[in-house]
Amino acid sequence: METTNNLPIFGKLISENLSLTARQVCNTLELLDSGATVPFISRYRKERTGSLDEVQIAAIQEQYDKLKTISKRKETIRTTIEEQGKLTPELQERIEQCWDANLLEDLYLPYKPKKRTKAEIARQKGLEPLALKIMMQRGCNLDAEAQKFVRGEVKDKEEALAGARDIIAEQVSENEEARKRVRRVFERTALITAKVVKGKEEEGDKFKDYFDFQEPLRKCSSHRLLALRRGEAEGVLRVSIAPAEDEDCLNQLNRQFVRSNDVCGRLVSEAVADSYKRLLRPSIETEFAAGSRAKAEEEAIRVFAANLKQLLLSPPLGQKRVLGIDPGFRTGCKVVCLDNQGTLLHNEAIFPHPPRNEYAQAQRKLAQLVEQYNIEAIAIGNGTASRETERLVKSISFDREVQAFVVSEDGASVYSASKIARDEFPDYDVTVRGAVSIGRRLMDPLAELVKIDPKSIGVGQYQHDVDQTKLKKSLDGVVEFCVSSVGVNLNTASQHLLTYVAGVGPNLAQNIIDYRTENGAFRSRKDLMHVKRMGAKAFEQCAGFLRIPDATDPLDATAVHPERYALVRRMAADHKTTVEELIRNKALRESIDLKQYVTDDCGLPTLTDIMSELDKPGRDPRKAIEVFSFAPDVETIDDLKPGMILPGIVSNITNFGCFVDIGVHEKGLVHISEMADRYVSDPNTVVTLHQQLKVRVLSVDKARNRIALSLKNI
């Protein structure tokens, strides 16, 4: 009820924050509350949202969740203050109108149940009236006033004054205006400072750049801030946040609280200084530390999500017969042969490299396997012995055209040891599973990579340092979007791939597999309604993303949602043709006046999407794959020299640049300042993940295994 009542308020706040119309936001919130998923809303409810894309809808959902959290917190605060008998109409109104988490806590602070603080101890001694009298600063005889409170636990007037000062200090620290003033100084001038912990200089070498570090907090980039916090967590760095000048805060506070120059005013000034040092500054520092970290984590998660999206949408080879190789030296190269569905047909090991050097035998064996299993492409993992194995493959004259690709094997070892891999290949060891994963990644990166925890895929930035719940939610959303964008073959998809289809999830995915096993291939989307626990809502959410290529109804192979089948059939009937002919005949489709089919819930955006889908039914949005080769004379860091121009592949993108694989074990860094002959604020505007490009070697630091590259002047 609370959420429903607040929906117009939430809509207004979110629309202002995201510069969207209140109608767009409120309609989106209603859809989300009804159980609709982000991919479904962005694809099939454009009229309701004003054609918002998945990024905008996800941003609305994120802000909605934050506001609901604040709403729950407000209810807790109201209840707590009300139980104390201190909830005035004015205070209740202020709480209801406040949607800033920090300001809300400021309002609550004076009423928050406290531990045994210095001020609380002084209150229990009966010293609060003395503190109030001092705060009035009306020229009283302070010694005489303090003497009146020397009784019970208060031994002398000095103890009375000290207790009164503690009460004043706490009142200052809990004062809403005082906190705002200190917060404003922090916002303008706060510096983040790091020092190396004594004795940790050698073991903390990776944090060397931060041993004596200081920078304005507002200018500290997310990757630097997370590096500082990691160094702090590992006990190497001592990190603090403070205003450039504490005097700025003290001056602000004295102007607010000190109203006389007499003995009372001086004691208030002392209390203000104590409050700032002992209570206010640590509290605001904690707040800014948490806030700056949250922003840094949001940026890191955003970068990771953008990279993961690009990686999952990498070009697929498609349904080809593939030979996968997991290269190695001492333990040999694990070789697997897969059919065009990714089914394992054969596996064995070859030993072309040291120490066994069975090069000729390996050449003959690979040639034999390519012929025996009608192999169309070879996938080579990019780890140890990758370059040597690539050279081996290219030295063979096959009887057919066989393309060779170097494939990232990041996370393959994680997959091969996972329960998913064990369930899929219970009779094979991890080496065979890893080689299968490499081969399948070439065929369909999306279908294979969804089996691996995104944090293990190698495209993140400080992914282990951020809030893991937020990270998982964001990355799951990316995977769900990518799976929904590409579409899933209902009759061949794995249980794990089906899990990420909008509206499905693990249990329903398993039920789909069970139905397929018991009843054979799905013949139509309508058959989904026979799947256990497939209700109307789940069907609505997932049906448009599940495809049946050979279905009787041609629309079942497209992204047209079943709720629009009747509309497409009406279009065909109006033009005295069939749906099949409508799909085949472009001129016929172009002759249709879409405006005739506009209704309240189906406008031109949906109609345009339908016609685009009929133009290329079931089209895969991913680009075509391209063959790539590293420079043949560069295999180790020792082969690199400044000035060399080399081919490379973008392997990771961060907000300070991108890492490029140039065929040596170490990845080179193109710093953001070396990405173009212009100012670049976001590396994603210049490069994309797995992009093939040329780079120039700037410098090589062999001692630290660092390679600096540039995209300029090439």
Q: How many other CB atoms sit within 10 Å of the CB of residue 91? A: 18
The low-confidence residues of the chain, meaning pLDDT below 50, are 1-2
**Mind spelling out the 3-state secondary structure of 484-519?**
HHHCEECCCCCHHHHHCCCCCHHHHHHHHHHHHHHH
Residues 6 and 32 in one domain: yes
Q: How many other CB atoms sit within 10 Å of the CB of residue 657? A: 23
Number of domains in the chain: 5
Encoding tokens for residue 547?
Answer: 């495809």
- Tens digits of residue pLDDT in 216-231: 999 999 999 999 999 9
CB 372 within 8 A of CB 384: no
Residues 104 and 142 in one domain: no
Q: Distance (Å, rounded) from C-alpha 225 to C-alpha 216? A: 11
Which pLDDT value is given to residue 463?
81
- Tens digits of residue pLDDT in 620-650: 899 989 888 899 899 899 999 999 999 999 9
The residue among 577, 316, 255 whose CA lies nearest residue 439 is: 316
Sheet holding 191-196: strands in order across?
212-216, 191-196, 237-242
Residues 260 and 133 in one domain: yes
Q: Distance (Å, rounded) from C-alpha 87 to C-alpha 150? A: 34
Helix axes 54-83, 2-18, angle to 10 degrees: 130
Contacts of 523 (CB under 8 A, 6+ apart): 548, 551, 552
C-alpha distances (whole Å) from 196 to each of 193, 203, 429 are 10, 11, 45
Three-state DSSP class for 668?
strand
Residues 334 and 419 in one domain: yes
Residues 603 and 511 in one domain: yes
The residue among 146, 102, 144 whose CA lies nearest residue 126 is: 146
The answer to whether position 30 is within a domain reads: yes
Residue-by-residue DSSP string for 12-80: HHHHHHHT--HHHHHHHHHHHHTT--HHHHHHH-HHHHTS--HHHHHHHHHHHHHHHHHHHHHHHHHHH
- Tens digits of residue pLDDT in 383-432: 899 999 999 999 999 988 999 999 998 888 899 999 999 999 999 999 99
The residue among 176, 109, 177, 165 whose CA lies nearest residue 135 is: 165
Percent of the chain with pLDDT over 90: 87
Which pLDDT value is given to residue 1?
37
Q: Which of 584, 615, 646 is the last residue of a domain?
A: 615
Which pLDDT value is given to residue 139?
75
In terms of phi and psi (left: phi > 0; alpha: psi -120 to 50; beta: otherwise), the region of 427 is alpha
Residues 122 and 186 in one domain: yes
Residues 39 and 89 in one domain: yes
Task: Quote the mean pLDDT of the chain.
Answer: 94
Residues 263 and 401 in one domain: no
Please provide the size of the chain in residues.
Answer: 714
Which pLDDT value is given to residue 2?
45
Which pLDDT value is given to residue 4?
53
Query: Any idea what the CATH number is for the domain that residue 699 is in?
Result: 2.40.50.140
* Residue keyed to tokens 């059919």: 339
Q: Distance (Å, rounded) from C-alpha 240 to C-alpha 220? A: 13
The answer to whether position 37 is within a domain reads: yes
Task: At 389, give phi and psi (nearest 5°).
Answer: -70, -35
Which pLDDT value is given to residue 210?
95
The answer to whether position 487 is within a domain reads: no
The percent of the chain in helix, strand and coil, each rounded to the nearest 5, is: 55, 10, 35
Residues 291 and 384 in one domain: no
Query: Any idea what the CATH number is for the domain that residue 279 is in?
Result: 1.10.3500.10
Encoding tokens for residue 347?
Answer: 């596996």
